[in-house]
Amino acid sequence: MNRRVLGVVMALLAAMILFECVVLGYGESPRAVLRMLFEGTWGSGYGIGQTLFKATPLLFTGLAVQVGLRAGLFNIGAEGQLVVASFAVGWLGTKLGGLPAPVAIPLLLATAFVAGAAWALPTAILRLRQNVHEVLGAILSNRIADALVAALLAGGAAIKGTVHTADMGAGCMLPRLGAFVPALGASAASLALPLALVVVAAVLPLFRKTAIGREIVLSGSNPTASTAAGVPVGLRRGLAYVASGGLAGLGAAATVLGYKGYYEQGLGSGAGFLGLAVALLGRGSFFGLALAALLFGTLQQGGLAVNAIVPKEVMDVFAGVVIVAVAIADRWVAAVPPVKTPAAAQGAA
Amino acid sequence: MNGKTLLLQTLASAVPYAFAAVGGTICERSGVANIALEGAMLVGAFAAAAGGLASGSLFVALVSAFVAGGAFLAIHGLAVVRLGVSSIVSGVAMNLIAAGGTRFLLRAIYGSSANSPTVEAFSASGAGRLILPALAIVALAATLFFFRKTALGHWLVAAGEAPEALVATGHSVAPIRFWAVVASGALAALGGAALAVDLRQFQGGMTAGRGFIALAAVILSGWRPGRAALACLGFALLDAVQVGLQAEQSGHAELLSAFPYLATLLLLIALGKRAGERTPRALS
């Protein structure tokens, strides 16, 4: 455990040094940029609130990717699952004008989960029935989600002349955290954050404490042995992948229900791919996932804070470097001959 | 749009796909999955524009793209082949770095968040326009020859099908796979360069998923370069039809842009068990 933490810390340090080099190469002082990054994120109540807001969808997508990984499947489709769920929630919200919050919110959350899960289903079927790699199915599904939602918005779901839906009913919004903790000010952090933490805390133990959860892990790590033991491997892994899609869809709670109050094209984009980074860094523990989501939330918010002097895209580069560095550190720490993917994750890609 | 325009438009649109798909076949046949084709295309498009702007020469632009794409995926090859990182994890990271990095450089060098200045070197007419399509055909023919007639080509296929057999005959798997990844990056980057040459500039995110489509072509073709190139022609035809319809009636353009992806997904489902059966056995 300690060696793993050490590996992650070293990977982060290496990524940090590379980041400093980029800033230097850009002709800015790394210290000034770092100070600006800190002040824009953890330096004020509002900044903290915004950082927590950015971290919230990442908690959902990070958990989603983690659930897939337990079954030996990469959910690269979290991006599209979140798009479809966000649109579905935003659209349904406009129809729920008169409903009180205790009815509307659970209904919308269920919709987000079902929409995300449904979008993951074709990929799961292709992978488990036809041995077409889930990454290909997910990539195709992501692109179809973008185009389909854009077409629906253009075709009448959006207010004319805009790319967003109408405002949802009053009972559809999740209250902002600023209403309970005045120090957070007008930041976009909402009750979606405690909701995300509860979901993470509730889902992770399922893999240890329930029979189905243990069968999923077994199916992911050793499908041959699982089949011999009578576990319905395809069903278990398919269930994990579809549930992963549902969890990614729940990310809409932070963006649509907690922040905008409507769906807008591009809302929440990038959270799906960063979910992979969060899952890799978080290594399946509650605190790991929470810290990783906070780190990438800080980077996203920090990117906006430093944008005036260094283009914010540098944060995407940083995220990519962190992913590779952590993955390399993993191998180094494990100190075993390279094994590429879990045996079960092999297929057509 | 008449038949001749449609045909020319299809052939022109097929070039970027074909480069990436031929590269993807080489890489995946060696046993390394490559979802980073998209990132390599983007890097190639940027390097071509930057090289063309700096030198004023189309030749230098293409060499820049070729070298930059190869060097970029050398990181992928190093991480996956030498350091044992999952090719999917590394691929996602490479795509993030390419998307963020090219936009970063666009703002850093040209002060724009949308596109580079117009590249005069890409304004060639007549014969100059035929260089990239000709190169694509050469790359395809060379790859077919490489797989069928050369010892190295046979070793590469062995690295993807039965690496232990390759080791048993005294060859190493790692260098073959590494250079296959590098070659795929260089070729995909030429595909990106073709996009930049076509529009005479670099635009942020201009590959718009073409690398993924090329990967789909590789898989649909059963990892055979000739058939992959044919699949690319099919995707290019969809593109050309879409461009034609876009000009005639706006509004449905968004839905049409989903068509290549939807068609691929449905085709994969229709293929049933056959969809994955030619997968290189050691591919991961």
Does B116 reside within a domain? Answer: yes
Please give the span between the terminal C-alpha atoms of chain B, in angstroms, as a whole number.
43
In chain A, residues with a C-beta closer than 8 Å to the C-beta of B33 are 133, 135, 349
Which range marks the domain in which residue B186 is found? 16-208
In chain A, residues with a C-beta closer than 8 Å to the C-beta of B80 are 340
Interface subset of A 252-281, CB within 8 angstroms of B: 273, 276, 280
The minimal CB distance from B89 to the residues A150, A321, A323 is found for A323
In chain A, residues with a C-beta closer than 8 Å to the C-beta of B103 are 311, 313, 316
Task: Express each pLDDT in B195-251 by its tens digit.
Answer: 999 999 999 999 988 999 999 899 889 999 999 999 999 999 988 887 777 665 555
In chain A, residues with a C-beta closer than 8 Å to the C-beta of B85 are 324, 327-328, 330-331
CA A175/CA A335 separation, integer angstroms: 47
Average pLDDT of chain A is: 89
Check: CB of residue A68 under 8 Å from CB of residue A239.
no
Q: What predicted TM-score, i.e. pTM, was given to this entire model? A: 0.89
Domain count, chain A: 1
In chain B, residues with a C-beta closer than 8 Å to the C-beta of A340 are 80, 84, 86-87, 284
Does A308 reside within a domain? Answer: no
Candidates A33, A136, A153, A331: best to mutate against B (most CBs of B within 10 A) is A136
Task: Express each pLDDT in A104-153 by its tens digit.
Answer: 999 999 999 999 999 999 999 999 888 888 988 998 999 999 989 988 99
Does B250 reside within a domain? Answer: no
Does B182 reside within a domain? Answer: yes
CA B228/CA B193 separation, integer angstroms: 20
Residues 6+ apart with CB under 8 A from A23: A29, A30, A33, A310, A314
Task: Express each pLDDT in A188-224 by its tens digit.
Answer: 999 999 999 999 999 999 999 999 999 999 999 998 9
The minimal CB distance from A135 to the residues B88, B101, B264 is found for B88
Residues 6+ apart with CB under 8 A from A62: A274, A275, A277, A278, A279, A282, A289, A292, A293
Q: How many other CB atoms sit within 10 Å of the CB of residue B151?
A: 8
* Best CA proximity match to A33, nearest among A318, A268, A278, A270: A318
Does A45 reside within a domain? Answer: no
Does A30 reside within a domain? Answer: no
Does B226 reside within a domain? Answer: no
Task: Express each pLDDT in B7-61 by its tens digit.
Answer: 888 998 999 999 999 999 999 999 999 999 999 999 999 999 999 999 999 999 9
pLDDT on residue B108: 87
Please return the burial class of A262, using the count of CB atoms within 10 Å of its CB with bins 0-12, 13-18 and 19+: buried
CA A226/CA A72 separation, integer angstroms: 13
The minimal CB distance from B261 to the residues A140, A319, A349 is found for A140
Q: Indicate yes or no: CB of A148 within 8 angstroms of CB of B255.
A: yes
- φ, ψ of residue A348 to 5 degrees: the values are -90, 115
Does B259 reside within a domain? Answer: no
Q: Calculate the dihedral angle through the C-alpha atoms of B76, B82, B86, B92, rounding to the nearest 10 degrees.
A: -10
Task: State the helix-helix crossing angle for B131-149 and B225-248, rounded to 10 degrees.
Answer: 150
Task: Express each pLDDT in B103-146 by its tens digit.
Answer: 999 988 998 888 999 998 888 766 677 899 999 999 999 999 99
Does A201 reside within a domain? Answer: yes
* Residues in chain B, overall count: 284
Please return the burial class of B124, using the count of CB atoms within 10 Å of its CB with bins 0-12, 13-18 and 19+: middle
Q: Indicate yes or no: CB of B88 within 8 angstroms of CB of A150.
A: no
Does A202 reside within a domain? Answer: yes
In chain B, residues with a C-beta closer than 8 Å to the C-beta of A62 are none
Does A347 reside within a domain? Answer: no
Which range marks the domain in which residue A276 is found? 58-295
Q: Indicate yes or no: CB of B90 within 8 angstroms of CB of A324.
A: yes
| Chain centroid offset of residue B101 CA | 18
* Best CA proximity match to A268, nearest among A84, A3, A16, A72: A84
Domain count, chain B: 1
Q: Indicate yes or no: CB of B283 within 8 angstroms of CB of A348.
A: yes
Does B32 reside within a domain? Answer: yes
* Best CA proximity match to A173, nearest among A240, A108, A270, A80: A108
If DSSP codes are grouped into helix, strand and coil, which group holds residue B130?
A: helix
Does B193 reside within a domain? Answer: yes
Residue at A236: amino acid letter: R
Interface subset of A 44-103, CB within 8 angstroms of B: 74, 76
Measured between CA atoms, the residue of chain A closest to residue B76 is A324
CA A239/CA A232 separation, integer angstroms: 11
If DSSP codes are grouped into helix, strand and coil, which group holds residue A100?
A: coil
